[in-house]
Structure 1
């Protein structure tokens, strides 16, 4: 039997609520949208690049966003030491190298990182700040992280929509 990415039911983003409810709801909506774009596809289909010369694939987006979740919520905001599953200093774009990737394992990594990101932000004030890891040393708030993550997902979900349409003609949502 051929493995396929699980089907999901996406929840609507909230129309009304306090700021935290809206930010959590919209971020979860975009997380679920990415998974919706992957739903029902085989590992081979998830590894299919968008269009030459780009190597961008749905699985590469899943891997990339797992690491972005870990970077902003866990490492930068919560100050946790993160062992990235794909990134290395020698190959910083390894998240997009899916030629031999295990799609089922990579989706599990994604789900784990989303859960850890949620835990890192739970109960913390949106006004709480941190200084970025790295040479720039910029100061950000947790609110900025949420807004940035929503933007990051929205941009990549546009890519995901086009990639999915190329694979099997499925569009929208």
Structure 2
């Protein structure tokens, strides 16, 4: 698992800037989970919350899938971890769940997202069934940057609680 974070460009066209910031935030989450053991990755933030670093990675795998595969590519790609019966299933890590699977699934969804956007215009439209409206790729990039930034803040606090590591 690489924890090298690409620096977003300071001068760039719109597409390069959006992709740079999204890659930076993806790498930031990878950095926040690096070096921890399975028990630490499962550790809930503050009871009764089930929020954990493993749960955040699982959540972001589902978010990547939702916006890039289901919305933009219009694939029939059901959620990975949550269900109607358990809408927080991505965060509700069980004894049967493994970090290796969660991380591999997240990376696979990132790879799928990169394949889907290759060659597309920022003006290309996708349809989000859960919101019943269209979104352009530009909006999806901005939303994904916002989603990662918010959850990276959560990851920072959880990581500090686990082992005192802060920053970056």
Note if contact 2:74-2:127 (Cα within 8 Å) is conserved in structure 1: no
Give structure 2 stretches of 5+ with no counterpart: none
Query: Which among 126, 129, 135 is matched to residue 130 of structure 1?
Result: 126
1:86 corresponds to 2:73: no
The separation in 2 between residues aligned to 1:47 and 1:7, in whole angstroms, is 20
Note if contact 1:7-1:40 (Cα within 8 Å) is conserved in structure 2: no
The separation in 2 between residues aligned to 1:169 and 1:78, in whole angstroms, is 41
The CA deviation string for residues 18-75 of structure 1, in whole angstroms up to 9 with x for no partner, is 1111011100000000000000000110000111221110000000000000000110
Alignment partner, residue 59 of structure 2:
64
Query: Which among 19, 25, 32 is matched to residue 37 of structure 1?
Result: 32
The secondary structure found in structure 1 opposite 2:105 is helix
The alignment yields a C-alpha RMSD, in angstroms, of 1.2
The separation in 1 between residues aligned to 2:2 and 2:136, in whole angstroms, is 34
Give structure 1 stretches of 5+ with no counterpart: 1-5
The CA deviation string for residues 58-108 of structure 1, in whole angstroms up to 9 with x for no partner, is 000000000000000110111011143212222121111113220011100
* Number of residue-to-residue matches in the alignment: 167
Note if contact 2:122-2:138 (Cα within 8 Å) is conserved in structure 1: yes
The 5-angstrom pairing of residues 13-52 of structure 1 reads 13-52=8-47
Alignment partner, residue 149 of structure 1:
144
Runs of 4 or more consecutive aligned structure 1 residues displaced over 6 Å after TM superposition = none
TM value normalised by structure 1: 0.92
Alignment partner, residue 115 of structure 2:
119
